[in-house]
Amino acid sequence: MVLPHGSGYLIPADCPDEIPGQGHKGGFIGARWTLPMFGMLRGNDSVWVIAETWWDCEVEAQHIPDRHSSIDFHWRGSLGKLDYSRRLLLGFEQGLDYVKMAKRYRLYAKQNGLLRTLKEKSAETPSILDDTKSILYRLVK
């Protein structure tokens, strides 16, 4: 499973642990989930899902060791109504791994004008550039 929680969870089918916080039934994209893309792999087969209308999409993910893994999508009415179309974009592919799924989302984000560089974001939030100057790194030869 590929779950966008925090910096991302990668949960293999044989993982002996449940998803952290699994007692929580789910969460909204933008609150518990950091991106609107989720995925699952089994052998060479994979499915990825992008919730295009993510702002009122609640997602429940479960991993019960030795039993099953699942992802479930629910829409909650904005202002108490369900009066517009909801869309999930689904992709079924073979030979796709976690990194290629991330690249699929990056391509989707770029094609839909959602991808912005740090330089572009700094026009609205100048402190971003200050943050990038404080990143510590070291080159290993």
Please, is 73 exposed, middle or buried when counting C-beta atoms within 10 Å of its C-beta (0-12, 13-18, 19+)? middle
- Taking the C-alpha atoms of residue 68 and residue 38, their distance in angstroms, rounded to an integer, is 16
Token pair belonging to 40: 């699952």
Joined tokens for residue 99:
């990194």
pLDDT tens-place string over residues 57-101: 999 998 888 888 899 999 888 767 778 888 999 999 999 988 999
* 107-122 pLDDT per residue, tens: 999 999 998 888 888 8
pTM: 0.79
Provide the 3-class DSSP secondary structure of residue 141: coil
**Are 90 and 46 within 8 A, CB to CB?**
no
Residue 30, Ramachandran bin (φ over 0: left; ψ between -120 and 50: alpha; else beta): left
The total number of residues shown for the chain amounts to: 141
- Answer yes or no: is pLDDT of 139 > 90: no
